[in-house]
Amino acid sequence: MGVLQVDFNTEEEVPAQEVPTSSFKDSLAAYINDAWQEARSAKDEIEERLLKAFRQFKNEYEPDKLAAIKQLKGSEIFLPLTNIKCRAGEAWLRETLIQPSADLWDLQPTPLPELPETKVNEIRQRLMIAFQQMTTVAIMQAQATGVPIDEFQIKDQIKELQADLEKKFWKEVEEEAKESAEITKKQINDQFTEGGFYKALDEAIHDITIFPTAIIKGPIFHKTKKLVRGIDPMTGAKTSTVVEETKEKYTRISPFNIFPAPDSGGIDDGYLIELDSINPKDLHDLIGVEGYNEDAIREVLRKYKDDGLREWWVIRQEERKEQENKFNSYDSDKIDMIIYWGAVRGELLLEWGMDSTEIEDKDKLYDVGVWMIDTQVIKAILNPDPLGKKPYSKASFVEIPNSFWGMSIPEIIEHIQTAVNAMARATVNNIAIGSGPLVERNIDRIPTHETKTLYPWKVLDATDSQMNGSPAYRFYQPQIIADRLVNIMGAYMKMADELSGIPAYAHGDVTVGGAGRTASGLSMLTASASRGIKAVIRNIDKGLIESTVERQYNLNVEMGTIMGDAPDARIVAKGSIALAEKELQSVRRTEFLQQTMNPIDMQILGLMGRKHLLKESASAHGIDTDKLFEGTESAMGVDPMLQAMMMGGGPPGSAPPEKLPGDNPPKPNQFEQENGR
């Protein structure tokens, strides 16, 4: 299949010729090109879906639809229903997921954590010494009393000690695993922060509401420059030095730039190709860098100087860039490049020049990453991930099992948007036609010099030719039915609420009827509506967050850069949990404050405990707790009379009350009835 090119003089599509196999320097480049052509051809239908969803989000008609509307010479209005739902869904997801004081994910030990053998032996050795000491003490105590040693009693005591030590052993293992998991979590979080993961996630949230799939790439190592400031020890003057360091990097990848295998059901199902670009200067700087082919890079730069290397899917690129408000794209100096991740036979890798120590079997399929420009492979590496996973994660607003592409809001409410637009155009047209009368002229009675324009107090000249007694002008007033059209349009908009899972009252609509007219009723409706957004958050948790954390964790272990001992841990994304907690936390906190406001609980909590509860409650409401509790630290232990009175007693030194509230707690069934359980 030839690549589509544009003849800029005729603006017609011209099929390009297939690149002959002989043009490729080696078999690896030809193999990657075949996969690229196959994946690009299979994505044609997806390209239409992506562009259609993007136009719908931007409040634009499809070109053929707009042409038909213009032919009718009617209204071209496009109601931004899709845009409103997408932006509301995006805001809802961001508010839930990205919170300053909440972690998006956690690293927790497994129920039976496995520690490194050295750490386990260290714990065993320490406990064995303690066991021997306790056994010796038990025997010495028996001897000191002069009572004959009861062998069976000693054995029983040793068994009890062994059981106790077994519990202590697993307790220490658990504590060590928790400590290691916490250290590893901080390390990965630092790598995420410096590598731009949270920025990439924020951009992916925008994609997930508009496009069938949102994609994050990483960790990928890249060189970055850093300014290091210091002081010259000789002169004492301040110095600054630019140093290069290799860091993990995370980026959001446009769904336009991803080309999965035709039958792919996910990131790691079949090969995956990314369309990327690079500046000529950056490409030239790769000469001499380990892993890059210098001859291939120089050949690419020579071809770029001649024709720019802009022969790939030009039609789609231009249409897409126009949608993204990127004009004059052909003034760009960037060179198109494809990045292939998938399986390749060892024979092709050896022919390209990969080290034979890495490729032991020429017939084996190796997971690799290959960078290719035009007909040149400039880099090929074995996949650094120990499990062979590709450095990408994906999630969809609505996941479709065994499918790479899911569904987005524009696709879910496409037919609703079409119906709403039809009603909106009909309403505007009806109001325009009904804004004045329709006029019928009898041309037999109107002189040729008479103008067609009507205005107030105009004198109409007419003749009586051929004994024609019919009126020279007739006036008709079209009926305005805009109110009925608006009602129908409102019904369709309510259907969009149900289909998208993002109701109007969730993004500011105050005209909520029924249960939504009360605060408690609106809270119930919002909680019910959040079920749909919870499903989307679970998709983000599993598809984008957990998979990326797992790759970074495995890479740290594989490269030996993990801080502390590698814990046997499981990754838990907390986005969907955070939404559930947010709904109930405020209510439960208030209930707990009320339940503990009694003398018995105050004796247990004390003033410091009560202060902690109040501080947590105030923080949840956005109150500055530093100012609220300013100066209370010293007062906590200074006023014993106040403290005693708050705990239900009298002044210091007075007799305690004969009976305190709560001495006779209610029976279980009575308690449950009073608390609605």
The pLDDT tens digits for 443-466 are: 888 887 888 888 888 888 888 766
Between these two residues, 469 and 584, which has the higher pLDDT value?
A: 469
Question: What whole-number percentage of the chain has pLDDT above 70?
Answer: 71
pLDDT at 367: 96
Q: Where are the alpha helices (DSSP H) in 541-574?
A: 547-559
Instruction: Please state, in angstroms and rounded to a whole number, the distance separating the CA atoms of residues 148 and 341.
Output: 76
State the sign of the Cα–Cα–Cα–Cα dihedral 338, 343, 349, 354. positive
pLDDT at 314 over 60: no
pLDDT at 382 over 90: yes
CA angle 292, 295, 299 (to 5 degrees): 115
Q: Which SS3 state, helix, strand or coil, does residue 273 take?
A: strand
If we measure between CA atoms, which residue out of 270, 263, 268, 291 comes closest to residue 387?
Answer: 268
For residue 191, give both structure tokens: 């790598």
Give 488-547 pLDDT, tens digit per residue.
999 999 899 888 888 876 665 545 544 444 545 445 545 555 677 888 989 999 999 999
For residue 552, give both structure tokens: 């970074």
Between these two residues, 62 and 180, which has the higher pLDDT value?
A: 62
For the chain, the average pLDDT equals 79
If we measure between CA atoms, which residue out of 303, 283, 279, 280 comes closest to residue 294?
Answer: 283
> If 0-12 CB within 10 Å is exposed, 13-18 middle and 19+ buried, where does residue 406 land?
buried
pLDDT at 235: 83
Give 317-328 pLDDT, tens digit per residue.
555 565 566 544
- Residue 82's pLDDT band (cuts 50, 70, 90): very high
pLDDT at 595: 80
15 DSSP β-pair partners: 4
**Residues 6 or more apart from 404 whose CB is under 8 A from it?**
213, 260, 264, 265, 266, 267, 269, 394
pLDDT at 101 over 60: yes
pLDDT at 641: 47
If we measure between CA atoms, which residue out of 294, 257, 318, 345 comes closest to residue 46?
Answer: 257
The single residue listed with the structure tokens 């000529």 is 280
pTM, 2 dp: 0.74
Mean pLDDT (whole number) for 571-591? 66
If we measure between CA atoms, which residue out of 370, 316, 318, 496 comes closest to residue 35?
Answer: 370
Instruction: Please state, in angstroms and rounded to a whole number, the distance separating the CA atoms of residues 653 and 512.
Output: 60
- Residue 347's pLDDT band (cuts 50, 70, 90): very high
pLDDT at 41 over 70: yes
pLDDT at 212: 96
Domain ranges of the chain: 26-70+211-398, 434-532, 601-654
**CB atoms inside a 10 Å sphere around CB 109:** 22
Number of H helices, E strands in the chain: 21, 14
pLDDT at 11 over 70: no
Question: What whole-number percentage of the chain has pLDDT above 90?
Answer: 37
pLDDT at 589 over 80: no
> If 0-12 CB within 10 Å is exposed, 13-18 middle and 19+ buried, where does residue 348 land?
buried
- Residue 301's pLDDT band (cuts 50, 70, 90): very high
Give 615-639 pLDDT, tens digit per residue.
777 766 656 667 667 665 554 544 4
User: Poorest-confidence range of 105-109, 185-189, 390-394, 504-508?
Assistant: 504-508
pLDDT at 535: 87
- Residue 49's pLDDT band (cuts 50, 70, 90): very high
pLDDT at 550 over 70: yes
Mean pLDDT (whole number) for 64-72? 93
Give 268-285 pLDDT, tens digit per residue.
999 999 999 888 998 998
pLDDT at 657 over 50: no
Angle between helix axes 519-540 and 575-595 (nearest 10 degrees) is 140
pLDDT at 2: 38
Give 383-423 pLDDT, tens digit per residue.
999 889 999 999 999 999 999 999 999 999 999 999 999 99
pLDDT at 63 over 80: yes
pLDDT at 198: 93
Q: What is the 3-state secondary structure (H, E, C) of 61-125?
A: CCHHHHHHHHHCCCCCCCCCHHHHHHHHHHHHHHHHHCCCCCCCEEEEECCCCCCCHHHHHHHHH
For residue 427, give both structure tokens: 């309403």
Angle between helix axes 519-540 and 197-210 (nearest 10 degrees) is 110
| Ramachandran assignment for 222, one of left (phi > 0), alpha (psi -120 to 50 degrees), beta (any other) | beta
> If 0-12 CB within 10 Å is exposed, 13-18 middle and 19+ buried, where does residue 144 land?
exposed
Give 126-170 pLDDT, tens digit per residue.
767 776 776 677 677 766 776 666 666 666 666 676 677 777 777
If we measure between CA atoms, which residue out of 632, 658, 654, 635 comes closest to residue 645?
Answer: 654
pLDDT at 632: 59
